[in-house]
Amino acid sequence: MAQTRHPMTGNEMSYYAEGGTERHRYDVVVVGAGGAGLRAAIAAHEAGAETAIVCKSLLGKAHTVMAEGGIAAAMGNRWPEDNWQVHFRDTMRGGKMLNHWRMAQLHAQEAPERVLELEDWGALFDRTEDGLISQRDFGGHRYARLAHVGDRTGLEMIRTLQQRAVQLGIDVFMECTVTEVLKQDDRVAGAFGYWRETGRFVIIEAPAVVLATGGIGKSFKVTSNSWEYTGDGHALALRAGASLINMEFVQFHPTGMVWPPSVKGLLVTESVRGDGGILRNSEGKRFMFDYIPDYFRSETADSEEEADRWYEDKKNNRRPPELLPRDEVARAINSEIKAGRGSPHGGIYLDIASRRDADYIRKRLPSMYHQFKELADVDITAEPMEIGPTCHYVMGGVEVDPDTQQSAVPGLYAAGEVSGGMHGSNRLGGNSLSDLLVFGKRSGEAAAAYAASVPRPSVVEADVRAAQAGALAPFELAAAAGAAENPYTIQQDLQQAMNDLVGIIRTGVELEQSLVALERLKERAGSMAVEGHRQYNPGWHLALDLHNMLLVSECIARAALARQESRGGHTRDDFPGPDPEWGAKNLVLTLDASGDGVEIAEKPLPVMPDDLRELFED
C-alpha cells in the first residue's frame, strides 16, 4: 500500500531552530504529480526502481485536470484513414516545423497504445455507436482523434493514474516543495525541499530525478494556470546545469473566461468549438473567416455554408476557421478586441447555443455548462459566453534526449510541459495529454534504468547547507534593517510587466523594456522579507517561488527579443511574418556564470529523415 508522507511537527519547527532535517533514500524521485509525473512514477516502479513522488500541492491537484477536451491519438475509431503519419504531420505543421521530429514521431506512434493502456487501468471513455472509444475534433487535427470523457478527460486521466500509483504502493510526499536538485560532481544525487505545512527541510537521496512540474503561467496576469505553476522545474533544471529550449513560445489559449473578475483566465475548453461553437464579435459577425492564414487556406472553409457542411460531411469539406491552431485563433480574437469590436467585459463571444440543442450541450459539455452557470450566471444552452485569450501553456522547456527524456545533466529527466522540443512553436489541443502519457512512461523507464546502472552518489553536505541558507534568506532579511520588499507586491508587478511587455503581441522596444523591468524586480527580490516563522507561511513560499518565476521570465523575454520573426506562439509586431532562416534553428538558454542570469545561443534543428520529410511534399 502506498504511503503518503506527512511532515513531522513539534517545537523544532520554529524558524529559529537548527537541525531536524528529514532524510530519505530512493532510486527515482519524480517531482510533480500531474499526468506526466504519475505516469513516470508508475513506469519507474514497474521497472524495479524504489520510487517516490513529490508534489507541491495535494495528490490529484494538477493542471492535467484542466485538459478537458481529450487525448490526441490516431486510433482511427471515427476515421479509418487516420494514422500516426497524419498525426505526426499535423503536429509538425501546428508547431510550424520547429518541433523535434523524433519526439513528434514517437508521440504519434505510441499515443494509441498509451490510451488503450489507460483504458485497461480503468479509465471510462465515451463510446462510438460501435462501442469503440469516441474521438472528437480539435483545432489543427486533420481527423477527429481526441479520445474523451465528456469535457472532463484530464480529470479521468488523473483519477486513473492516481489509483494505479496507489495500488502499486508508490510513496507520495504531498505539499512538499523541491527547491534544489542536489548533485555530486556532474550528476544527480537527490533533491532538497521543505514541507509546506511545517517548514521542515527534506533531503531525498536518489541517483535519478524526473521533473514533471508543469508550466510557468503564474508569471502572467491573466492565466488559466493555478498557483503551483511558477516555473519551478524550468528553474531547477537551469540551476542544475541543464539547458532550456523554445522558451519564447508561450501559448495563449483563445478561450478563457473574462467575467466575473474572480475567474478571469479560467479555461473554456476547445471542445466547445470542436462540437460546433463559433466566435462572434460585438457586431454579431462570425469574424474568423477574415483571419485564415495562407498556410492553412487550402484546408479551411472560407464561407459559413462550407464550414457548416463540414460538420455533416467531415471527409469532403474544409474545416471551420474556429478550428485553426490555437495561436491563429488567439491572434484573431486579440485583433478584434483591439479594434473595438469586443464584448462589454473585454472579450468576444463564443456561441454554441444557436448551433446545438440544450440536451446535446449538457451531455457533451457538462463541465462548461456548470462552470458558466455557477461562476458567471450564464446558461450556455441559451446565450453566448464571453471569452478572451489566457496564458495557458509554454512550449519551451528542458532540452532532452527524445528517446529517454534525459537532460544534459546525468540523472536528470523531464517530461510533460516542463520539457521542450515536442511541440515546436505551438502545441495542438489534445497533444498535451498524449505527450504526458508517452514521455512520462519513457522518462520513468529511462530513469529507472539509469539508477540501476550507476554507483549510488552521495549528497554533498556543503550543498545542503547552501540550500538551507538560501531557503531561510527571506527570514534573515526580515531581521535586517531596511529590508522591506513584499513578495506579493513583486509578483503583482512581475505579472503586470509580463502581461504588458511580453504578452500575445510583442515588439522589440517592449521586450527591451521588459528586460530592464526584470532586472529591477530581481534587485527588489534580493531584499524580500517575510515575517513570522516557517510553519505554514504562504509569504515565505511565494518568496522562494519568485526566484524561479523571475529566472524563467527572463528566459522568455530574452528568447522573444532574439527571435526576429513571428511563428506559432511568438508574435512580433515589428517582424510580422515567419522567416525561413529562423525556421531552421532553435534558441537554447543556459545559466550564466553569475548564476543570476541567462545566456542564449542558436542551435540548428535536427535533420529529419527523408521518409518523414516526404510526408510534407503534398
Give rounded-to-5 percent helix, strand, coil for the chain: 40, 20, 40
Task: Summarize the confidence of residues 502-526 as an average pLDDT.
Answer: 95
* CATH (residue range 252-391): 3.90.700.10
CB 31 within 8 A of CB 213: yes
The residue among 484 and 183 whose pLDDT is bigger is 183
79 has pLDDT over 50: yes
Give the model's pLDDT for residue 6.
57
Burial 373-391 (b: 16+ CB within 10 A, else e): eeebebebbeebbbbbbbb
Q: How many Å apart are CA 562 and CA 511, to the nearest integer?
A: 10
278-280, strands of its sheet edge to edge: 250-257, 385-394, 348-351, 278-280
531 has pLDDT over 80: yes
Q: What is the pLDDT of residues 431-441, one digit of tens each?
A: 999 999 999 99
273 catalytic, yes or no? yes
Return the amino acid letter for 531.
E
CB 98 within 8 A of CB 72: no
449 has pLDDT over 60: yes
By C-alpha distance, which of 269, 272, 279 is closest to 304? 279
Q: How many Å apart are CA 93 and CA 295, to the nearest integer?
A: 9
- When mean pLDDT is compared across 6-15, 521-530, 596-605, the lowest value belongs to 6-15
pTM greater than 0.75 (yes/no):
yes
465: left (phi over 0), alpha (psi -120 to 50) or beta: alpha
Query: Which of the following is catalytic: 152, 273, 442, 541?
Result: 273
Task: Summarize the confidence of residues 448-461 as an average pLDDT.
Answer: 96
Give the model's pLDDT for residue 63.
80
Give the range with max mean pLDDT: 136-150, 251-265, 601-615: 601-615
Q: How many Å apart are CA 124 and CA 508, to the nearest integer?
A: 48
Give the model's pLDDT for residue 199.
95
Give the model's pLDDT for residue 593.
85
Query: Which of the following is catalytic: 107, 196, 200, 253?
Result: 253
Give the model's pLDDT for residue 13.
38
410 has pLDDT over 80: yes
The residue among 15 and 287 whose pLDDT is bigger is 287
Q: In the 8-state DSSP scheme, what is residue 504?
A: S
CB 322 within 8 A of CB 273: yes
Contacts of 46 (CB under 8 A, 6+ apart): 168
CB 486 within 8 A of CB 528: yes
| Model confidence band, residue 12 (pLDDT cutoffs 50, 70, 90) | very low
Give the model's pLDDT for residue 618.
64
CATH number among 1.20.1440.130, 1.20.58.100, 3.10.20.30, 3.40.30.10, domain 471-579:
1.20.58.100
| Model confidence band, residue 108 (pLDDT cutoffs 50, 70, 90) | very high
Rg (the chain; Cα; Å): 23
Share of the chain above pLDDT 70, in %: 95
Q: How many Å apart are CA 534 and CA 530, to the nearest integer?
A: 10
253 catalytic, yes or no? yes
234 has pLDDT over 90: yes
Q: What is the pLDDT of residues 302-337, one digit of tens each?
A: 888 888 888 777 666 688 999 888 888 988 998 999
| Model confidence band, residue 261 (pLDDT cutoffs 50, 70, 90) | confident
HEC string of 582-610? HHHEEEEEEECCCCCCEEEEEEECCCCCH
What Å distances lie between residue 370 and 115, 355, 365, 366, 429, CA to CA? Answer: 27, 19, 9, 6, 22
Kindly state the cell numbers that stand for 553. 521570465
| Model confidence band, residue 41 (pLDDT cutoffs 50, 70, 90) | very high
Q: How many CA within 13 A on the CB side of residue 354?
A: 12
| Model confidence band, residue 4 (pLDDT cutoffs 50, 70, 90) | low
The average confidence (pLDDT) of the chain is 92
CA triplet 221, 178, 426: central angle to 5 degrees? 45
Contacts of 100 (CB under 8 A, 6+ apart): 402, 421, 422, 424, 605, 606
φ, ψ for residue 486, nearest 5 deg = -100, 125
| Residue ranges covered by each domain of the chain | 252-391, 471-579
- When mean pLDDT is compared across 99-103, 334-338, 559-563, the lowest value belongs to 334-338
By C-alpha distance, which of 173, 199, 205 is closest to 5? 173
Give the model's pLDDT for residue 325.
84
Give the model's pLDDT for residue 51.
98
Give the model's pLDDT for residue 203.
97
Residue 133 forms beta bridges with which residues? Answer: 127
Task: Summarize the confidence of residues 39-54 as an average pLDDT.
Answer: 98
| Most distant CA atoms of the chain, gap in Å | 72
Give the model's pLDDT for residue 14.
38
61 has pLDDT over 90: no
